[in-house]
Structure 1
Amino acid sequence: MFLAAQVALSLFLPISSAATSGRRATTCNGFSDLCGRSYGNITFVGAHDSYAVGVNNLFTDQDYDVTQQLNDGIRMLQMQAHNNSGTIQLCHTSCSLFNGGTLQSYLQSVKSWINSNPNDVVSLLIVNSDGFAPSQYDTVFKAVGLDTLSYSPPSATTINTAWPSLGSMIDSGKRLVTFMDTGANFNSVPYIIDEFTNMWETAFDVTDTTFDCNVNRSKGDTSTELFLINHFLDKIVLGEDAPDPEDANVTNSVSGTGSLGAQVQTCVAAQGRSPNFMLVDFYEFGGGSVFQVAATANGVTYNPSTPVPSPRSTGTATGTTSSTSKPNNAISQFGVRELIIPAVLSLSLLGGWMAVL
């Protein structure tokens, strides 16, 4: 009987120890070393306008869809939400310029990926362009089933050092963190987190290679908030900011003027810590360099089992458009008339185009 009791106890103790340790996950976001690290002490690569996918289109920022983005290592998905006849639609500035489909359809892809990757924590950053109420987003999240996977902080504001570890988030099943730039209400939908009381950002729509680490937008104490760097280079096209894939290899690189690595080092010097999120365009330019920068910031080694795919957009990496992809630029997709409508055009330029038309 005593031996039986010892055996029973030996079988019970490991289970009890694991159950009370608070962390059973051994690999978190691809690295064992990140399991014990706080969510607020990790650098994640984010896809700017992650839904805006297309080849050589003035209004797209990514070459690959959200599933491929997540497969390759993107862990923050940023999006613009617009009101399209009462439906939450993901559009670039206007749904007439680029319509990326409904939020519900997009989130279904995210949910499918999360279900297939139980050891990863993913973040969303929603730009609530047309002021939908949190309850309307909650309806979509519930329809997809993401509400049950969403992390709700204990209060409306969480300082960067108070976030749980990745391992504990994975163990709890709360593996989706959602921020919203405006309109969040903790008392209404606690898992939709107000961005600017919990996170600050650097400047966006930068058109030169001077990426600093100055606070551009915040509503809280920047010394204790998470922070995000907008590291995507734009160019001016017909008076409007547009993505710049031609320079994406340099912009996304590990070192050098205007590189992602250089901006991270600027932040470390200025803020005493690495950014929590790095938003980039055309993440695959640089052959995985954006993920290497994140790995270095996190103190781990970037050693992917498969390489990131080759760029599809025209840029310095290839110099040509993929032969398997039909060019999908703004003129071919929307027509010259729709392209020149924006009032940002000067009267002389507009007059010249109208003469041609």
Structure 2
Amino acid sequence: MARFRFFFAVKIFLIFHLAAISFASSYGSIQLGDQCSSDEECNVGLGCFKCGIDVARCVRSNVTDQFSVVNNSMPFNKYAFLTTHNSYAIEGKPLHVATQEDTITQQLNSGVRALMLDTYDYEGDVWLCHSFNEKCFEFTKFNRAIYTFEEIFAFLTANPSEIVTLILEDYVKSPNGLTKVFTESGLKKFWFPVQNMPKAGQDWPLVKDMIANNHRLIVFTSAKSKQETEGIAYQWNYVVENQYGDNGVKPWECSNRAESAPLTDKTKALVLVNHFRTVPVKILTCEENSKHLLDMIKTCYVAAGDRWANFVAVNFYKRSDGGGTFQAVDKLNGELLCGRDDVHAC
């Protein structure tokens, strides 16, 4: 019996040892900034991407969980969140203009916590779409909104300590059209009530309380009437935002978007910084998502009356020459949470 136990123990040890080797070997050993040819060659938390005409290198591909580094006991507006512009415009549809490479689920799993979605009436349903003259067309549509909403529902269900923000450029005219899709997808379960949103620039609820109350989906709409008719928060009552597109990436300039109150208006507790070109070009985006982005969030800090951004919106969010968008969010969280240049220093 003793001999059996000995060999059994050795066998179990070998199984776990081989499993550990297998798990470790699922990640490569190439470090940040080193040349690579595939994601598998890069160390954990890194991906292999090409920046401009340079060779492909290992760059960051995951956000830091600020709640783990610090805690979730601060108001929601004291944190920063990576945001994807036109999150639904994913590569793979011929003749469509894409702004992202990853699926919605992949974006969320990589740490994206705010999604910009354009919603339209089309074919008797709500679609995510690019537009001309505020209308969706066959050659500009991407997919039905409910499919994306169901992905978000699955993520929130599987991750009970996470909060997701939806920023809707909203052209849905059908009465209660959006409410219907939110209800059918199950997302109403996580709805943050508009009546609980702070006014006059007051702090938002503590993140830990939002989680405890399961108020983990914040939704903003660009359609003012829907705050009254459907209980969806009108974005410009709560957020200030800089200009988007080519006018929003000019060095040392940070002016407010036309629909937004001035960036210095502190009656809105949340600040959003856009940093993406009007025409997305993936191979060039990495430069915009690197030092240019860090410079812009510093410029917008001053323009917003010494307030750091809560949301930073980009195209092709994993493209950079190193730390990229993830480093920018680390800086924002460091500044917001402890006045340091990086959240890891908090």
What is the TM-score with the length of structure 1 in the denominator? 0.68
* CA gap 1:57/1:168 in 2 versus in 1, 3 angstroms: farther
Query: C-alpha displacement at 1:98, in angstroms?
Result: 3.0
173, 181, 197: which one aligns with 2:214: 173
Match of 1:318 in 2: none
Q: Which amino acid aligns with 1:37?
A: M
- In the aligned structure 2, how far is the partner of 1:219 from the partner of 1:284? 28
- In the aligned structure 1, how far is the partner of 2:248 from the partner of 2:242? 14
* CA gap 1:132/1:302 in 2 versus in 1, 3 angstroms: farther
Asked if 1:65 is matched to 2:103, the reply is: yes
- In the aligned structure 2, how far is the partner of 1:302 from the partner of 1:162? 21
Q: Sequence identity of aligned pairs in percent? A: 23
1:63-142 correspondence to structure 2 within 5 Å: 63-93=101-131, 94-133=136-175, 135-142=176-183
Asked if 1:270 is matched to 2:303, the reply is: yes
291, 294, 298: which one aligns with 2:329: 294
Q: Helix, strand or coil for the counterpart of 2:147?
A: helix
* CA gap 1:179/1:168 in 2 versus in 1, 3 angstroms: same
* CA gap 1:281/1:214 in 2 versus in 1, 3 angstroms: same
- In the aligned structure 1, how far is the partner of 2:260 from the partner of 2:317? 29
Asked if 1:199 is matched to 2:246, the reply is: no
- In the aligned structure 2, how far is the partner of 1:208 from the partner of 1:163? 27
Per-residue CA distance 1:97-146 (angstroms, 9 max, x = gap): 3322111111001100111111111000111124344x221111111111
Asked if 1:210 is matched to 2:259, the reply is: no
* CA gap 1:150/1:279 in 2 versus in 1, 3 angstroms: same
- In the aligned structure 1, how far is the partner of 2:210 from the partner of 2:169? 24
Query: C-alpha displacement at 1:218, in angstroms?
Result: 4.0
Q: Helix, strand or coil for the counterpart of 2:165?
A: strand
Q: Is there any run of 5+ residues in structure 2 with no aligned partner, and where?
A: 1-63
Q: Helix, strand or coil for the counterpart of 2:112?
A: coil
Match of 1:24 in 2: none
Match of 1:341 in 2: none
- In the aligned structure 2, how far is the partner of 1:80 from the partner of 1:185? 15
- In the aligned structure 2, how far is the partner of 1:165 from the partner of 1:95? 42
Q: Is there any run of 5+ residues in structure 1 with no aligned partner, and where?
A: 1-26, 235-241, 304-357
Q: CA RMSD in A?
A: 2.5
What is the TM-score with the length of structure 2 in the denominator? 0.70
- In the aligned structure 1, how far is the partner of 2:154 from the partner of 2:301? 36
- In the aligned structure 1, how far is the partner of 2:314 from the partner of 2:282? 11
Q: Which amino acid aligns with 2:326?
A: F
